[in-house]
Amino acid sequence: MTPLLKIASIETLYYDRIYALHGLSLEVKEKEIFTVLGPNGAGKTTLLKTIAGLLKDQPKKGIIEFMGKRIHRLPPEHISRLGIVYVPEDRGLFRELTVAENLDLGRWG
């Protein structure tokens, strides 16, 4: 069975100088709950922004696939149309909207 999200050996630079992600690989299956945990500076946000296409020219190496299709280095607007959006922890959200409504707005960026 093809994983919903597959990340293979990605390398992402932080400010084009320091490897924030080096050789990271993971797979998320459909209906699986996945959590990214770690201390400040561990690369959690960099990972999520890399997946969402928000870091220019990243990842430098490796592949990211969503539903069997390669999405790495696609523009963020293309990735968001597939249903992958990055929503910051609490900044830039509309408190009067539901989680689903905020995520939907993120797709249109």
- Residues 7-59: tens digit of each pLDDT: 999 999 988 888 999 999 999 999 999 999 999 989 999 999 999 999 989 99
pLDDT tens per residue, range 81-96:
999 988 877 666 788 8
pLDDT tens per residue, range 58-72:
999 999 999 999 999
pLDDT of residue 91: 63
Predicted TM-score (pTM) of the model is 0.80
The answer to whether the Cα torsion of 77, 82, 83, 88 is positive or negative is negative
Q: Which domains does the chain have, with CATH numbers?
A: 5-108 (3.40.50.300)
Work out the burial of residue 83: count CB atoms within 10 Å of its CB; fewer than 13 is exposed, 13-18 middle, 19 or more buried: exposed
pLDDT of residue 90: 60
pLDDT of residue 9: 98
